[in-house]
């Protein structure tokens, strides 16, 4: 059975296809491109594929929330390896590769940050505090995860409305409360990234705000889109310091430049729905998953043009996305239970 978190995401992304498009910046019409796709089917059905990442050996790593697994895929051998996390509860959603090629994960239901050592096939886990909601005790629910240059692990906490930081050298955990007052399941911080200057950026799954945390001063700033109905999801940055985020609403792609100017772009179409996964390649092209179009799409920031790449499998529901060293674009297909790989035409 797929997790409630995944089911909610799928429902919201599909439902957003019925919203009316409101454009803040009008891109040219979207051309379609074929590229070259390859798809790899998971050995088990209903895997509940989550965000992917790629290690230095070219292996793809992702959580399977449908089977309580951390999974790696070797493209050269075309083999899958399944790892059961310690006392896991089918909650691996956030994932990141460290410089030493070890894997960090956020297990939101078991309420820990996990560190997996592939060469040793061993785990180390760091338990997070619980939060009180009335008479109920809830996990902090770490969702997305990102690493900084000082070996700190940053993560969003869905239930505790906080940003968490784990010092991987000492094991110490620090929480940064987002709201002026302590809240539970109100702000719902979701995506996270750390920019080249070390600032931590995050989205809120219940609002149109993009947040910035300064780790040195522990202060936060917030940037809002023009449309109050916008709901931001995944977030990343490019090499120039621009922050990019996807949204549940109206095929929304958001850019915040280094001067603090926020611009909204929308995937053209009558029912673009929500977009989810996002990554920026070395050339500065922004790549996204567009589930309602059953496609991946690229966005050229200079021409503000979207180009779509339809997936071969029907109802694939492309979810997370990551870029390989050889400029291949990898995505998890939550609907077709496959891993997709695109070689885009140059």
Q: Which two tokens stand for residue 64?
A: 């399977």
Name residue 117's beta-bridge partners.
122
Q: How many CA atoms lie within 13 A of 297 on its CB side?
A: 34
Residue 269, CA distances (Å) to 19, 247, 249, 289, 318 in order: 11, 15, 13, 15, 18
Name residue 309's beta-bridge partners.
296
pLDDT at 5: 52
CA pair distance 168, 100, nearest whole angstrom: 13
**What mean pLDDT do residues 177-205 have?**
96
> Model confidence over 124-161: pLDDT tens digits?
999 999 999 999 999 999 999 999 999 999 999 999 99
Q: Indicate the pTM of the whole model.
A: 0.92
pLDDT at 3: 43
> Model confidence over 85-117: pLDDT tens digits?
999 999 999 999 999 999 999 999 999 999 999
pLDDT at 17: 39
CA pair distance 189, 59, nearest whole angstrom: 29
pLDDT at 34: 66
pLDDT at 18: 35
Whether the per-residue pLDDT at 12 is higher than 90: the answer is: no
Which long-range contacts link 78-85 to residues 24+ away (Cβ below 8 Å)? 78/40, 80/42, 80/43, 83/116, 83/121, 85/110, 85/114, 85/116, 85/123
CA pair distance 163, 155, nearest whole angstrom: 6
| More confident call, 23 vs 156 | 156
**What mean pLDDT do residues 260-278 have?**
88
b/e map 281-320, b = 16+ CB within 10 Å? beeebbbbbbbbbbbbbbbebeeebbbbbbbebeebbbbb
pLDDT at 19: 30
- In three-state secondary structure terms, 5 is helix
Q: Which domains does the chain have, with CATH numbers?
A: 4-343 (2.130.10.10)
Looking at every residue in the chain, the average pLDDT score rounds to 91
Whether the per-residue pLDDT at 20 is higher than 90: the answer is: no
The fraction of the chain above a pLDDT of 90, given in percent, is: 84
């Amino acid at each position: 059975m797929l997790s409630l978190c995944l089911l909610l995401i799928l429902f919201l992304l599909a439902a957003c296809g019925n919203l009316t498009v409101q454009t803040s910046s009008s891109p040219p019409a979207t051309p379609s491109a074929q590229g070259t796709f390859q798809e790899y089917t998971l050995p088990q059905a209903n895997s509940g594929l989550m965000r992917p990442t790629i290690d230095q050996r070219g292996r793809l790593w992702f959580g399977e929330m449908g089977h309580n697994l951390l999974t790696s895929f070797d493209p050269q051998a075309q083999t899958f390896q399944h790892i059961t996390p310690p006392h896991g509860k089918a909650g691996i959603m956030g994932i990141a590769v460290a410089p030493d090629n070890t894997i960090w994960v956020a297990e939101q239901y078991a309420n820990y940050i996990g560190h997996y050592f592939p060469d040793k096939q061993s785990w180390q886990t760091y338990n997070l505090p619980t939060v009180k909601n009335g008479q109920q005790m809830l996990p902090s629910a770490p969702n997305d995860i990102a690493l900084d240059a000082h070996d700190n692990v940053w993560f969003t906490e869905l239930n505790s409305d906080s940003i968490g930081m784990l010092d991987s050298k000492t094991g110490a955990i620090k929480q940064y409360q987002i709201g002026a007052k302590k809240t539970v399941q109100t702000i719902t911080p979701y995506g996270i990234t750390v920019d080249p200057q070390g600032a931590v950026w995050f989205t809120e799954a219940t609002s149109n705000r993009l947040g910035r945390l300064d780790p040195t001063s522990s202060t936060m700033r917030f940037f809002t889109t023009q449309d109050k109905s916008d709901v931001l999801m995944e977030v990343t940055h490019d090499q120039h310091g621009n922050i990019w985020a996807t949204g549940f609403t109206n095929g929304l792609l958001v850019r915040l430049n280094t001067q603090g100017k926020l611009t909204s772009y929308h995937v053209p179409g009558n029912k673009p729905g929500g977009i989810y996964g996002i990554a920026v390649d070395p050339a500065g092209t922004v790549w996204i998953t567009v589930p309602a179009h059953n496609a991946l799409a690229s966005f050229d920031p200079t021409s503000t043009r979207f180009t779509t790449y339809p997936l071969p499998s029907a109802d694939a529901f492309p979810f997370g996305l990551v870029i390989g060293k050889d400029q291949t674009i990898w995505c998890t297909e939550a609907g077709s239970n496959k891993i997709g790989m695109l070689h885009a035409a140059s």
